[in-house]
């Protein structure tokens, strides 16, 4: 890995389980990515240009997803680098839960817990409850430059991506926060159907999230928490045939071509957005 590439630290907690594939996805996008254990000297985080908090079950989801991790010195240190110095951080799935419980997402008043990633909707009529693991579609719901991580997309672009979570329902009890999310256009990724239409049907909004939110950024756009897994859609070979649409067609066309299968998947652009933010124009 070239030393002149931007360096990001991928925080590893006890119970993280996506660190190696996330590291591979970040490196495929052109970043230098170190897996950084939670019990290392937190001050070493200052050496990094940005951060990723990946998926898994930090501290076995004890008490509530992500909350134990937020009390660790490493998260406090990362908070200072992100909220104080404007460094970018991407939280994926459990990482998003950590950022929400740390008050970085939505971050209207940084440090204040303004939202929750609550258990997925419970809908006995449709036999929907608990952990949800499948491919969904997302729409880029804000101008690309609203957030560091969406600069490689077009506004309104729809792309497929997998989800795998039991507690992924963005919600808030504070109506002012909900209003500001809309006003500030902080909901940058929304669950949608193939045509980009949002709605509350479980086939479209799998967990019942407020505003169909799949990814929310901070007011400054340098922090994003997203429940879907872009690292599991970083290579074309990761895209399943059966989801349909242009990405599925590309995957089918690449069948038997090893090099093409290692090409870019729909989630890669999230990491390239991070690279763009860290490479001087």
Partner 1 sequence: MIEVELLVRLKIPDVTALTAANSLRRRMGYAGTLQRLRRADYYRLGLNAATTEAALALAKTLAEDTNLFVNPNKHAYEVRLPDQAAEASAEAAHEVEVLVTDPNDGSAQGALSALQGRLGFGDRVASLTKGVLWLMDLRAPDHAAAKQLAEQIAVTRRIDQGLLMNPHFQQCVVR
101 CB neighbour count, 10 Å cutoff? 23
Helix (H) or strand (E) holding 17: none
Check: CB of residue 186 under 8 Å from CB of residue 162.
Answer: no
For residue 226, state whether it binds partner 1 (rule: CB under 8 A). no
Beta bridge partners of 165: 132
Q: What phi-psi label fits residue 56: left (phi over 0), alpha (psi between -120 and 50 degrees) or beta?
A: left
122 has catalytic annotation: no
For residue 121, state whether it binds partner 1 (rule: CB under 8 A).
yes
Structural contact between residues 151 and 193, judged by C-beta atoms closer than 8 angstroms: no
270 binds partner 1 (CB under 8 A): no
- Contact of 176 with 202, CB cutoff 8 Å: no
Tell me phi and psi for residue 145, to 5 degrees: -85, 5
Tokens matching residue 22: 């996330």
Q: Which of 81, 152, 167, 231 is catalytic?
A: 231
When binding is defined by CB under 8 A, the residue of 113, 164, 254, 261 that contacts partner 1 is: 113
Note whether 186 and 141 are within 8 A (CB): no
Cβ distance to partner 1 smaller for residue 101 or 231: 101
First to last CA, the chain: 21
Task: Tell me the closest approach of the beta carbon of residue 159 to partner 1, in angstroms.
Answer: 29
- DSSP, residue by residue, 235-259: BGGGS-GGG-SHHHHHHHHTTT-HH
* Residue 19 among the catalytic residues: no
- Let me know: does 278 contact 149? Beta carbons within 8 Å: no
Fill in the DSSP letter of residue 102. T
CA–CA dist 275, 194 (Å, integer) = 28
Nearer Cβ to partner 1 (25/104): 104
Stretch that binds partner 1, among 44-52, 169-177, 240-248, 255-263 (CB under 8 A): 169-177
Q: Which of 9, 115, 141, 161 binds partner 1 (CB under 8 A)?
A: 115
Q: Among 1, 44, 46, 129, which residue sits at the site for partner 1 (rule: CB under 8 A)? A: 129
Is 111 an interacting residue with respect to partner 1 (CB under 8 A)? yes
Residue 126 sits in the site that holds partner 1 (CB under 8 A)? no
Catalytic pick among 18, 33, 93, 217: 93
Give whichever of 118 and 213 is closer to partner 1, judged by the CB atom.
118
The C-alpha atoms of residue 93 and residue 182 are separated, in whole angstroms, by 22
Is residue 93 flagged as an active site residue? yes
Query: Under rule CB under 8 A, how many of the chain's residues touch partner 1?
Result: 35
Report if residue 124 touches partner 1, rule: CB under 8 A. Answer: yes
Q: Which of residues 174-213 bind partner 1 (CB under 8 A)?
A: 174
Residues 47-86 close enough to bind partner 1 by CB under 8 A:
59-60, 62-64, 67-68, 70-73, 75-76, 79
- Binding positions for partner 1, rule: CB under 8 A: 59-60, 62-64, 67-68, 70-73, 75-76, 79, 101-103, 111-116, 118-119, 121-124, 129, 169, 171-174
Q: Which residues are catalytic?
A: 93, 229, 231
């Amino acid at each position: 890995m070239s030393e002149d590439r931007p360096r990001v630290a991928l925080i590893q907690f006890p119970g993280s389980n996506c660190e190696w594939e996330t590291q591979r996805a970040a490196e495929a996008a052109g970043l230098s990515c170190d897996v950084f254990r939670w019990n290392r000297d937190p001050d070493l985080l200052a050496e990094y240009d940005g951060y990723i908090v990946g998926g898994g079950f930090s501290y076995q989801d004890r008490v509530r997803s992500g909350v134990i991790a937020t009390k660790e010195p490493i998260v406090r240190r990362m908070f200072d680098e992100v909220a104080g110095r404007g460094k970018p951080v991407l939280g994926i799935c459990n990482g998003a839960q950590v950022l929400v419980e740390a008050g970085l997402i939505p971050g209207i008043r940084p440090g204040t817990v303004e939202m929750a990633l609550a258990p997925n909707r419970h809908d006995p009529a449709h036999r929907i409850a608990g952990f949800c693991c499948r491919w969904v579609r997302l729409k880029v719901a804000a101008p690309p430059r609203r957030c560091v991580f969406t600069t490689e997309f077009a506004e309104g672009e729809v792309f497929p991506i997998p989800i795998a979570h039991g507690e992924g329902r963005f919600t808030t009890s504070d109506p002012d926060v909900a209003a500001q999310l809309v006003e500030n256009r902080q909901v940058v990724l929304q669950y949608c159907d193939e045509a980009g239409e949002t709605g509350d049907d479980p086939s479209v909004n799998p967990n019942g999230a407020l505003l169909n939110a799949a990814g929310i950024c901070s007011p400054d756009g340098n922090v994003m928490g997203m429940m879907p897994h872009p690292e599991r859609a970083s290579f074309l070979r990761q895209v399943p045939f059966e989801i349909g649409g242009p990405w599925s067609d590309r995957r089918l066309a690449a069948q038997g071509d090893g090099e093409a299968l290692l090409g870019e998947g729909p989630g890669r652009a999230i990491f390239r957005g991070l690279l763009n933010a860290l490479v001087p124009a």
